[in-house]
């Protein structure tokens, strides 16, 4: 059993590896594939609080490949990554003008069905979760002269600060295309809670109001392919009020909540931050232009620095350029002005030693406590001997220690230096040691999704941590439980990082928050009471947020099949993709969705809501019943899920051994017409004895179909 579990762990290990790839080929010759094309792409964006709900529409083709004939029978395979904590909640596949809404099944059953259908040349798509961040979509068949359209609905965690909420656009998925789709249309809506939608990362991309044929009155931006950048985000004004955001979904005295709290709103830490921002740019070490880097940095400074903070901007060049010889208040206008003055003057080559020396001297000259934020992608000082000498020279310039926080955005030409058992990348040896010796911090692109995320997280470390941190939620007349933090270690918080939490509660309001800790050697304790009239009522999406967090926490534990079984149950009940389930679209299912519609906007406290699809039989398809099993292989407990159409009934449900002998026959009188039930088999034969490990066959017959499923008992 240990060997089996180890194999599972190796196969679905939770990592942050990002892989994007679009391939098309004939599944009969799986070794021969070519890069596919995304003909059209669009996105709907619905803010939900701690998450944004995305509806990603993609149309695939084999344009530019050897397969262009109507007789070609091709399979599309899209590998893609999503941010950690993201959760896929639905999948649709178009069959002509009609829409197929996916079933969610355990992975083994779904894979078996998909593979059998590929051999029989019918119309499925299947969507897998392969790790914490990696996914795969497969579609079959696609003729060489046609397109196949899909929709993937998923929720991405939001990056919060006091001024805005934001999430990255899925541009890397579009870049898998052999020929980029000419435009990527992004649709969204605004109301009294979610205001001022905007695109971050390119100030020339403006979201404008539009009357659309599909979405009606909406906000839309059409992003041209020449503007595709991994650093583009969509943002809204932050809905924080009095330092927190809270909403709930409640039925009776039980419910779910989402919560965002800004620590800096409750601690007396304003007016004391002075930051010299040093920018070093080596054009050979990044795919981005200097203007893109500067625009991202400018935005993050405007979002994370308070008007009472102070800054200076210092650029690398042959002669180092300073915006000012004294500290400047960090208002939006002052930051904008500084970048306008220096934007066109940064060099395309690194002058890192002179830049660091200038920054240290600036802080010394102003005779005040200040910090340095170095933003660099230089790679010339990774050798330990060279790095150690440069570190000594920089430290010698300081009369007292000046914290240097370093953000390394190098993405090209990484060079590796092996020292003892450690491996260093680019300037990482120099940066990590300089930050450690000055009391600063160091981070690079190794574990970051994009440069925007990297720059944003730099300010978290810049303003320091809250140690011995304790955060507790409760009800005045009840309690909270099953809480999940979405972005932090439970024992450490940062002044400039939002505390984001989902949880369950039982009881009656008001909702209460107590948090305490130590910041800059001072002990603090704060309490927040949220009365009924200050709470936002939300829809059942909050339940999905909690269920997705619950599933992800269990996925990190591979200790027993009971956990796998519980993950599958939660995944299927809440329609959230897990490591052990798949979304499967089938042409011949009762989930042919004749009334699936695009997102609808509602101008009330439940801001957006998907119109609930009414599943019905297609008039063009055969009525179908489904039986699925999980987990498979199993040890002693097998779950059998039965879904029957209203007109059908199950006639026989029997387990056989490979000799054809009956092992166990279920009482079908318990399974009436129109049943949707999950029953269990405990691995015992009809006489009560435990059956031996091996292969068995589950056979079922209904009014509409007769099928078998292979079972494996460990």
| 637-657 residue pLDDT tens | 899 988 887 778 888 899 988
**Span 55-61, average pLDDT:** 97
User: What residues are paired with 701 via a beta bridge?
Assistant: 652, 706
Residue 438 has pLDDT above 60, yes or no: yes
Distance CA 607, CA 77 (A): 35
pLDDT score recorded for residue 344: 73
Candidates 467, 396, 408, 466; CA nearest to 438 is 396
Structure confidence at residue 672 (pLDDT): 66
CATH superfamily of this structure's domain 15-238+582-588: tricorn interacting facor f3 domain (2.60.40.1730)
| Average of per-residue pLDDT across 534-550 | 85
Among the ranges given (43-47, 202-206, 325-329, 561-565), the one the predictor scored with the smallest mean pLDDT? 561-565
Class of 624-714 in CATH: mainly beta
Q: What are phi and psi of 226, to 5 degrees?
A: -70, -15
CATH 1.10.1760 fits 254-266+467-546, yes or no: no
Q: Does 271 score more than 70 pLDDT?
A: no
- pTM (predicted TM-score): 0.78
Pick the more confident residue, 130 or 611.
130
Confidence of residue 9 (pLDDT cuts 50, 70, 90): very low
pLDDT band with cut points at 50, 70 and 90 for residue 5: very low
Task: Count Cβ atoms below 10 Å from residue 264 Cβ, excluding itself.
Answer: 19
Label residue 134 exposed, middle or buried (CB < 10 Å: 0-12, 13-18, 19+).
buried
Residue 485 pLDDT greater than 60, yes or no:
yes
Question: Nearest-5° angle of CA 139, CA 145, CA 147?
Answer: 40
Q: Could you tell me which residues are beta bridge partners of residue 506?
A: 254, 479
pLDDT at 120: 54
Q: Is the pLDDT of residue 615 over 80?
A: no
d(C-alpha 574, C-alpha 233), whole Å = 28
What integer pLDDT is reported at residue 19 of this predicted model? 87
Q: Are 679 and 640 in contact (CB under 8 A)?
A: yes
**Phi-psi category of residue 121: left, alpha or beta, with phi > 0 → left and psi -120 to 50 → alpha:** left
Nearest partner of 497 among 147, 263, 696, judged by Cα: 263
Least Cα distance to 434 among 377, 397, 387 occurs for 387
Mean pLDDT for 155-183 is 94
What pLDDT is attached to residue 258? Answer: 95
- In the 8-state DSSP scheme, what is residue 690? B
591/104 Cα distance (integer angstroms): 11
Give the pLDDT band (50/70/90) at residue 121.
Answer: low
**So what's the pLDDT on residue 559?**
60
What CATH architecture is 274-462?
Answer: 3-Layer(aba) Sandwich (3.40)
Measured CA to CA, the distance from residue 700 to residue 675 in angstroms comes to 14
pLDDT-derived band at 540 (thresholds 50, 70, 90) equals confident
Contact yes or no for 382/428 (Cβ under 8 A): yes
CA angle 441, 487, 329 (to 5 degrees): 55
Instruction: Please report, rounded to a whole number, the percentage of residues in the chain having pLDDT higher than 70.
Output: 86
Q: Is 299 helix (H, G, I), strand (E, B) or coil?
A: helix
Q: pLDDT tens across 126-149, in order?
A: 999 999 999 999 999 999 999 999
Close Cβ partners of 119 (under 8 Å, ≥ 6 residues apart)? none
Q: What's the pLDDT at 172? A: 95
Domain coordinates of the chain in residue numbers?
15-238+582-588, 254-266+467-546, 274-462, 624-714
Average pLDDT score, the chain = 85
CB-CB contact of 494 with 469 (8 Å): no
Mean pLDDT of 268-286: 85
**Are 698 and 690 a contacting pair, CB within 8 Å?**
no
- With b for 16 or more beta-carbon neighbours within 10 A and e for fewer, the 18-44 pattern comes to bebebbbbbbeeeeebbebbbbbbbbb
Q: What is the mean pLDDT of residues 396-401?
A: 93
The answer to whether 15-238+582-588 and 254-266+467-546 have equal CATH topology is yes
Which pLDDT value is given to residue 627? 85
My answer on whether omega of the bond before 631 falls inside 30° of 0, hence cis, is yes
Q: What percent of the chain has pLDDT over 90?
A: 52
Which comes out higher in pLDDT, residue 382 or 195?
195
Measured at the CA of 407, the angle between CA 406 and CA 409, to 5 degrees, comes to 145
> Region 442-465: what's the mean pLDDT?
83
Give me the mean pLDDT over the 205-211 stretch.
95
Residue 106 confidence class, pLDDT cut points 50, 70, 90: confident
Lowest mean pLDDT among 17-31, 230-244, 466-480, 684-698: 17-31
**Checking phi first, is residue 544 left (phi over 0); if not, alpha (psi -120 to 50) or beta?**
alpha
Q: Is the pLDDT of residue 511 over 60?
A: yes
Supply the pLDDT for residue 8.
29
């Amino acid at each position: 059993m240990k060997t089996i579990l180890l194999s599972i762990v190796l196969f679905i290990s939770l990592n942050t590896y990002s892989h994007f790839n679009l391939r098309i080929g004939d599944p009969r010759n799986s070794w021969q594939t070519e890069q596919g094309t995304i003909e059209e792409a669009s996105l709907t964006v619905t803010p939900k609080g701690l998450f944004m709900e995305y509806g990603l529409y993609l149309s695939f083709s084999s344009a530019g490949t050897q397969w262009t004939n109507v007789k070609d029978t091709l399979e599309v395979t899209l590998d893609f990554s999503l941010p950690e904590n993201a959760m896929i909640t639905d999948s649709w596949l178009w069959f002509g003008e009609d829409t197929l809404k996916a079933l969610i099944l355990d992975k083994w059953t779904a894979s078996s069905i998909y593979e059998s259908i590929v051999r029989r040349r019918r119309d499925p798509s299947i969507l897998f979760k392969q790790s914490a961040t990696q996914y795969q979509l497969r579609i079959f068949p696609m003729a060489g002269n046609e397109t196949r359209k899909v929709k993937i609905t998923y929720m991405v965690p939001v990056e919060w600060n006091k001024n805005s909420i934001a999430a990255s656009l899925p541009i890397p998925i579009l870049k898998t295309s052999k020929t980029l789709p000419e435009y990527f249309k992004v649709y969204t809506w605004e109301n009294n809670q979610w205001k001022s939608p905007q695109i971050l990362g390119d100030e020339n991309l403006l979201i404008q109001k539009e009357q659309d044929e599909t979405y009606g009155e909406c906000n839309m931006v059409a992003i041209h392919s020449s503007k595709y950048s991994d650093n583009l985000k969509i943002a809204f004004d932050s809905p924080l009020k009095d330092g927190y955001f809270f909403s709930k979904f409640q039925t009776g005295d039980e419910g779910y909540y989402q919560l965002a709290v800004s620590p800096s709103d409750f601690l007396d830490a304003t007016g004391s931050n002075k930051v010299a921002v040093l920018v070093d740019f080596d054009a050979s070490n990044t795919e981005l232009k200097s203007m893109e880097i500067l625009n991202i940095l400018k935005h993050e400074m405007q979002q994370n620095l308070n008007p009472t903070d102070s800054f200076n901007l210092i650029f690398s060049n042959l002669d180092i350029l300073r915006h000012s010889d004294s500290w400047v208040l960090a208002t939006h206008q002052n930051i904008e002005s500084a970048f306008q003055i220096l934007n066109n003057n940064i060099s395309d080559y690194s002058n890192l030693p002179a830049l660091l020396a200038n920054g240290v001297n600036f802080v010394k000259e102003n005779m005040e406590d200040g910090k340095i934020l170095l933003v660099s992608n230089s790679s010339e000082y990774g050798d330990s001997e060279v790095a150690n000498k440069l570190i000594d020279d920089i430290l010698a310039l300081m009369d007292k220690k000046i914290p240097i926080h370093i953000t390394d955005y190098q993405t090209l030409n990484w060079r590796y230096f092996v020292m003892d058992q450690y491996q260093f990348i680019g300037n990482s040896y120099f940066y990590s040691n300089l930050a450690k010796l000055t009391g600063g911090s160091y981070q690079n692109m190794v574990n970051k999704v994009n440069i925007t995320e990297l720059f944003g997280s730099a300010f978290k470390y810049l303003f320091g941590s809250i140690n011995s941190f304790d955060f507790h939620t409760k009800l005045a007349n009840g309690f909270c439980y099953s809480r999940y933090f979405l972005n932090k270690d439970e024992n450490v918080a940062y002044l400039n990082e939002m505390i984001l939490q989902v949880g369950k509660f039982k009881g009656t309001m008001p909702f209460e928050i107590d948090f305490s800790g130590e910041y800059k050697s001072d002990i603090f304790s704060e309490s927040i009471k949220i009365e009924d009239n200050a709470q936002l009522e939300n829809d059942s999406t909050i339940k999905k947020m909690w269920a997705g967090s619950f599933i992800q926490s269990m996925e990190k534990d591979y200790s027993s099949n009971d956990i796998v079984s519980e993950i599958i149950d939660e995944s299927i009940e809440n329609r959230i993709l897990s490591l052990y389930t798949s979304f499967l679209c089938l042409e011949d299912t009762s989930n042919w969705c004749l009334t699936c519609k695009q997102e609808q906007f509602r101008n009330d406290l439940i801001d957006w809501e998907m119109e609930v699809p009414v599943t019905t039989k297609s008039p063009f398809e055969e009525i179908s019943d489904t039986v699925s099993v999980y987990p498979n292989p199993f040890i002693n407990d097998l779950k059998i899920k039965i879904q029957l159409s209203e007109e059908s009934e199950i006639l026989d449900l029997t387990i056989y051994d490979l000799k054809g002998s009956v092992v166990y026959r279920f009482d079908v009188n318990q399974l009436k017409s129109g049943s949707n039930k999950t029953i269990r088999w405990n691995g015992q034969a009809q006489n009560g004895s435990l059956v031996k490990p091996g292969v068995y066959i589950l056979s079922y017959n209904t009014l509409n179909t007769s099928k078998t499923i292979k079972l494996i008992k460990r």
